[in-house]
Structure 1
Amino acid sequence: MKKIGSILILAMFFVASAFAPRTQNVHEVEADIVDLAVSTDFLSTLVAAVKAGDLVDVLKGDGPFTVFAPTNDAFAALPAGTVENLLKPENKDKLVAVLTYHVVPGKIMSTDLKNGQKATTVQGSAVTVTLKDGKAMINDATVTAADIEADNGVVHVIDKVILPPM
């Protein structure tokens, strides 16, 4: 019994240390918003769209930016053919409008969000923040992962693609 207890304590130590906050060290990788998205499999559709919209250099810029990043599943939930049409060269302006509607100038952490808050996007229209049942929503998209910090801002993962007013 004593041996099992020791093994459990050792296992808990390793699990706790794996999830402990990291301090600055030589092994820590710094990344801008684009590099962060590229390294995240479930944001690959967003990365493809950012490349097609020629927004890579902008989102690698100094910022700071707040990006509400839709997942691959969020893009897949759009009506059939929507993503393919947006990625066509002749629809680049529409694609850029949709993508820049997901970006707010400045670094807005989840603790900065207020119920009913409006934030003007790079696209020019505002998004609305709703705080309900311990969850944050941007328009009708739920924030599923918040405060992912990058060198030039912060990313909040959302479960829907939000579309600007047309």
Structure 2
Amino acid sequence: MKRSIFMAAAVIAIGFTTSSVFAQTTQDTTRKTTTTTSTTTAAAADGASDVVGALASNADYSTALAAVKAAKLDSVLKAGGPYTIFAPNNISFGNLPAGKLDSLLKDPVTLATLLKGHVVMGKYGKKEIIAALTAGKGKATVTTLDGQPLTLSLVSNKLQLTNAAGSTAQVTLFDLIGANGVVNGLNGILMPKP
């Protein structure tokens, strides 16, 4: 009798433990799947047409999208390619000095110059960047649309970009895929030489 009670208690304890672990795994998996699925789905649905659509697929880059449109670069980036856009996130634009973003949005020529420093010819998703860094022993240089060198390097195990003016930003998001390229997200704006 004692043995039956002990077995029943053990089965119940194992059941609760298994349920708890399963619930945590399910929650974590759901959370990860939701994030991955929404990003992948958005990139596949909106980005299938071009890199501008890929940029539009993630709300964290809505200011970069508005800037691309204000600079009238969207028509350029929708044709040809492949392109890689290293897009500053909304927080990066929010960190500009007061009034700077508004003045840039009203000056398409200056804004286009700034944005061309974030776009390179060729597709540089995470896989291609790793290959380029491996071939270059930790560094790689690509050329932006405005003809300037953009250096990619690993700093504290994070991918950092440095432009010709010495401005730096780190890649925080990889592989928003469009039919004619890819968008990678940055935590800063690569400011050109004054």
2:79 pairs with 1:67: no
Q: Which has the higher helix share?
A: 2
**What is the Cα deviation at residue 10 of structure 1?**
5.7
User: Alignment partner of 1:12: what SS?
Assistant: helix
Answer with 1 or 2: which has the greater Rg.
2
Task: Output the TM-score relative to the length of structure 2.
Answer: 0.72
Letter paired with 2:131: D
1:124 aligns with 2:150: no
The correspondence for 2:22, drawn from 2, 6, 9, is 9
Please give the secondary structure, in 2, of the residue aligned with 1:138: strand
1:2-151 matches, cutoff 5 A: 2-6=15-19, 8-9=21-22, 12-13=25-26, 15-16=28-29, 19=32, 29=45, 31=47, 32-88=50-106, 91-109=107-125, 110-114=129-133, 115-139=138-162, 140-151=168-179
Identity %: 33
Residues 136, 113 of structure 1: alpha-carbon distance in 2 compared, 3 angstrom cutoff: farther
Deviations 1:13-54 (A, max 9, x none): 5643664687xxxxx625132122223221111111111111
Aligned pairs, number: 161
Shift of 1:154: 1.4
Query: Residues of 1 paired with 2:79 and 2:91: CA distance?
Result: 27
- Which consecutive aligned stretches of 4+ in structure 1 deviate over 6 angstroms post-superposition? none
Shift, 1:130, TM fit: 2.0
**Does structure 2 conserve the Cα–Cα contact (< 8 Å) formed by 1:125 and 1:165?**
no
1:165 maps to 193
3-state secondary structure, aligned to 1:117? strand
TM-score normalised by structure 1 residue count: 0.82
Whichever residue aligns with residue 118 of structure 1, its letter is T
Q: CA RMSD in A?
A: 2.5
Where structure 2 has 5 or more consecutive residues not aligned to the other structure, the ranges are 1-12, 38-43, 163-167
Alpha-carbon separation, structure 2, partners of 1:101 and 1:112? 22
SS state at 1:122 partner? coil
